[in-house]
Structure 1
Amino acid sequence: MKKRVIWAFAAVAAFTVSVFAAQELSAPLRDKWTVQEVATLASMRLKVAGVRPADFSNAYEQKTEAATLGRALFNDTRLSKNGQVSCASCHSAAGQFEDGRQFGQGVGTGKRRTMPVMGAAHSPFLFWDGRKDSAWSQALGPLEDPAEHGGNRVAFVKLVLGHYKSQYQAAFGPVPVLGQLPENASPNGSDAERAAWAALSATTHDGVNRVFANMGKAIAAYERNIVYGESRFDEYAEATVRGDARGQESLTLQEVRGLRTFLNKGQCVTCHNGPLLTDHAFHNTGVPPVDPKNPDRGRIDGLKQLLKDEFNCLGPYSDAKPEQCGELQFLNTNDAGQLGAFRTPSLRNVAARAPYMHAGQFASLDQVLQHYAASPKAAIGHSELARPGEKHAERQTIRLSAADIQDLAAFLHAFTGPVVQPK
């Protein structure tokens, strides 16, 4: 009898909750949107990103043993010239997997802003100029960059095989026969390192490169598990799609005004769209160069570096078939619109990632929005933004009042959510 009473009470409670939920869903929405706007909001929910697409060039990215090794390598400061810099030095797990600096700081100072690693598995091109086409290839670049880790691949390979040999074999199988290696050698780096590399056989080159590539694949396997979590914006978008009146309270009225500007006259959604709030493309928006006398050429130079990179999708260390490298096979290296263009960053967690733009040119979101409202001419190439009085085939002039900028800046904070990472 007692169990029946408890069951009956639970059934009544469940019915009450379901009735209350139905009432909430049938209540008039606080914020009204057009059918097209609701569709756009639906497309921007994080959950529609779905399962992270497989990187055909990395056959080990979902292998636990590779991710375990990758995590160790990501945090190992011995993988640097001075023994003090690791991947985690610039991509800190304590924050947004970036460093909060205007320029990346390794053994030296870089020329661009550090980008976070979240969402990398969804992007066809990486770095601000897109000079890498996979997360594993991207991970290799900083290791030999003189301003970042400043090391050389033979030294890295020797360290991995000296300290992580069993973990390496668990992830990638037998180690290539390398013979006696010099202390330092690389096709990049100092004159001495290049000379030492040239003295090695082609077979040794291939073996070293194979282990080096697998280091990147291990790091990418670890980074694949670092993702964005849902934000207040996602709660609001979901509530709006479902017709949930109470759920719309996830955003303040000011934030909703900012969202309307984001979708409409601000034209932000033109580039910052989809579940990761980026079109994964490259744009020249007239961002002022740090050095006006030597402006950063951006994507147009990144394309050239990508195509000659031995670690790209079509290279000998890729696990992909040529037909699986479509993005790489149809690139236009003669597109003048790529001059001064930079990758569209995700706006997820953007409020927690000052400063902004490819070289940290703007200290605050207000400054970023004021830049777009002003739509200045580009110092190099041609800005895609329509200037007042200018006829533009694809865009309209962005006209934002001071109140619009305040509302937009407030709304951008609603994109902040947790960073989900392996324990």
Structure 2
Amino acid sequence: MLQRTVHRHKVQAAQKGRRSPVWLSMALVPLIGLAYVIMQPTIPRVRDVPLSDDQLRAQVAALTLPPTDALAQRIIVGDEKTRLKANLGRLIYESTWLSRDGKVSCASCHGAIGTTKSERTPASPLVNLAWQEWFGVAGASDSLDAAVLAACEQPEQLDSSRAVVAAAARSLWSREYQAIFGALPAALPPVERLVGTGSPELPQLRLDVAVAATGLASIGSPVLLDDIIEQSLREHIAPAAELARRTLSPMQVSRPWQHQFSQLSAAEAAAVNKVFINLGHALSTYIIGAVTVDAPFDQFAARLTHSTNVNEALGPGFGAAELQGLKLFLGPAKCVSCHNGATLADQNFYNLGLSQRGTRLDAGRAVAVLQAAANPQGCLGSALNAEPLAADCAKTLTLNPRNAAALGAFRTPSLRQLASKTSYMHDNRFASLDAVLSYLNDPRDVPAIGNRDAHLSPLALTKEELAAVGAFLNSLNGRIISLFHAP
């Protein structure tokens, strides 16, 4: 009896130590499933954008640069005089002689044109400008000629003067100048006088009282209603309008050497201005020939015209990720509403609602329209009126200095060749493209001045979708070449 009892307990104990194979497999099922889930790659959170192949073809074609030979014909690259101008422009572009400290050239900030050298610079590359209408971050220049002349004299750029530029024509480029424009003016002073003469003082510009008052009311305010503006103008801000106007006006810096320009005779001043304008035109001729080629997006666009479907057109530098980004760009990301056309810039001005940085307040387009209209080297100025390239002044004539919506608005930049930049936005506040996309995805800053543009609202793009848009933007980077350089 005792032996049977002991045996029975041993059998039961052994049975307890063993589990049924069926029970064991059931226990392992959830563990295997969990391991499978863990081992699987994360499915990208990128929404599908319904676009037919034909719809995509049409939109891609609208974003593609024209062939370079069409641009070459437009700017008469083959014309001998044009080529001579471009050659002189290249010498000016690469020269450090024009800057106040003798160390900075146009290429120092904007990069070399038409070389294999790859470099990143703080300023935007001067490329594809043949399709641009306004120049400068707020459009203070209505032509490329006016823009390059302004750059020579602005303190934050070359910080030079027109007299120094004219001196360079006499000292460095006399032969090149005369081959294009004829002999230097007889009244042009000698180099030693020109170097210390400088530039004439520029006119003092003042904002319209109502625009300035609106700007003062909006400073630091995230939302400004129309009735508040009207009430403020009537009851609160009108007494301070003059103060606001002075605060926001781009008061010109008076430099010690500026008064010396007035010491020149009328003939000498006219000679300096003529040479200055001619050299600026040579420089702009060289710059206008800089274009981008071989961007992966443009190669995709070319393949797409001959492909039976979109996937056939994918290739190096433009694959599935870039295609996803392109579709988001055209759809949920709303980028194309402002970034359209061959350079992906609509030539308009918007207030992105960026917050104040430092103590300097930049009123943006509201000030730039005054500068463009008053610029002696601009389309309405006496200096360039005779130039064929500046004959159409319609856009400048229709500028509205009383448009309060221009406060804090800046030009839509081109999205081509963004890899050439080290910083982004009109004030270079963002160090990476990712930071720009992050802000635009959720723009919540209190605008420094004016009101954020109504079309700029949170996009709620996922991290993966932002990465896809970034991949598409990177596909817009190509090589910068000059149409004037020998192939």
Query: Do the aligned residues in 2 keep the contact of 1:375 with 1:386 (CA within 8 Å)?
Result: no
The match for 2:82 is 63
Of 161, 172, 175, the residue aligned with 1:163 is: 172
Q: Would the aligned equivalents of 1:75 and 1:87 in 2 still touch at CA under 8 Å?
A: yes
Check if 1:214 corresponds to 2:278. yes
Q: State the distance in 2 between where 1:128 and 1:61 align.
A: 33
From the superposition, tell whether residues 373 and 61 of structure 1 become closer, same or farther in structure 2 (CA, over 3 Å): farther
- SS of the residue corresponding to residue 242 of structure 1 reads coil
Counterpart of 1:312?
378
State the one-letter code of the partner of 2:479: P
- 2:265 maps to 201
Whole-angstrom distance in 1 between the partners of 2:73 and 2:132: 9
Distance 2:101 2:183 in 1: 30
Q: What's the CA shift for 1:370?
A: 1.2
Are positions 1:76 and 2:95 aligned together? yes
Match status 1:411 vs 2:472: yes
- Change over 3 Å in CA distance of 1:184–1:387 after alignment to 2: closer
Q: Please give the secondary structure, in 2, of the residue aligned with 1:297.
A: coil
Contact between 2:374 and 2:381, CA under 8 Å: does it hold in 1?
A: no
Task: Give 2:439's aligned residue.
Answer: 371
What is the 5 A alignment of 1:254-273?
Answer: 254-273=321-340
How many angstroms apart in 2 are the aligned matches of 1:142 and 1:409?
31
Compared CA separation, residues 343 and 324, structure 1 to 2 (3 A): same
SS at the partner of 2:71?
Answer: coil
Deviation per CA, 1:271-324: give whole Å up to 9, x if none.
111111111221111233432x43321111111111111001232222048862
Comparing 237-246 and 263-272, the one that deviates more: 237-246
Superimposed CA distance per residue, residues 18-75 of structure 1 (whole angstroms, 9 cap, x where no aligned partner): xxxxxxxxxxxxx96254432111111112685279689xxx9971111111111111
Decide which moves more: 355-364 or 315-324.
Answer: 315-324
Match of 1:253 among 297, 320, 323: 320
**Aligned residue number for residue 361 of structure 1:** 429
**Whole-Å Cα distance in 1 between the matches of residues 435 and 54 of structure 2?**
32
Question: Which residue, out of 68, 79, 100, partners 2:121?
Answer: 100
Q: In structure 2, what is the equivalent of residue 187 of structure 1?
A: 200
Are 1:115 and 1:127, in contact at CA under 8 Å, matched by a contact in 2? no
1:231 counterpart residue number: 295
Measure the CA separation in 2 of the matches of 1:173 and 1:45.
Answer: 40
1:159 CA displacement:
2.3
Partners in 1 of 2:377 and 2:74 — Cα distance?
17
Partner of 1:20: none
Where do residues 113-192 of structure 1 align in structure 2 (5 Å cutoff)?
A: 114-178=123-187, 180=189, 182=193, 183-185=195-197, 186-188=199-201, 191-192=255-256
Q: 5+ unaligned residues in a row in structure 2: which ranges?
A: 1-49, 202-252
TM-score by length of 1: 0.80
- Cα gap change, 1:285 to 1:310, in 2 (>3 Å): same
Kept in 2: contact 1:142–1:148 (CA 8 A): yes
The 8 Å contact of residues 350 and 406 in structure 2, kept in 1 or not, is answered as yes
Residue 33 of structure 1 pairs with residue 52 of structure 2: yes
**For residues 119 and 383 of structure 2, what CA distance do their matches in structure 1 show?**
28
Q: How does 1:251-400 map to 2 (within 5 A)?
A: 251-291=318-358, 293-318=359-384, 319-320=387-388, 324-376=392-444, 377-386=446-455, 397-400=458-461
Instruction: Name the aligned partner's letter for residue 345 of structure 2.
Output: T
- Check conservation: 1:285, 1:385, Cα contact below 8 A: no
| C-alpha contact 1:284 1:383 (8 A) present in aligned 2 | yes
Number of residue pairs matched by the alignment: 369
- How far apart, in 2, do the equivalents of 1:301 and 1:61 lie? 40
Find the residue that maps to 2:66 and give its secondary structure.
helix
RMSD, aligned CA:
2.8
Q: Residue type matched to 1:40 in 2?
A: Q
Is the Cα–Cα contact under 8 Å of residues 189 and 268 in structure 2 kept in the other structure? no
Identity, in percent, stands at 30
Judged with a 3 Å threshold, the aligned counterparts in structure 2 of structure 1 residues 233 and 286 are, in CA distance, closer, same or farther, namely same
Indicate conservation of the 8 Å contact 2:200/2:258, yes or no. Answer: yes
Which runs of 5 or more residues in structure 1 are unaligned? 1-30, 102-113, 389-396
Match of 1:28 in 2: none
The offset of 1:122, in angstroms, is: 1.8
Deviations 1:221-266 (A, max 9, x none): 1112211113111122233343345322352212211111100010
Aligned partner letter, 1:231? A
Q: CA deviation at 1:163?
A: 2.0
Q: Within 2, Cα distance between the matches of 1:179 and 1:360?
A: 40
Separation (CA, whole Å) in 1 of partners of 2:423 and 2:405: 25
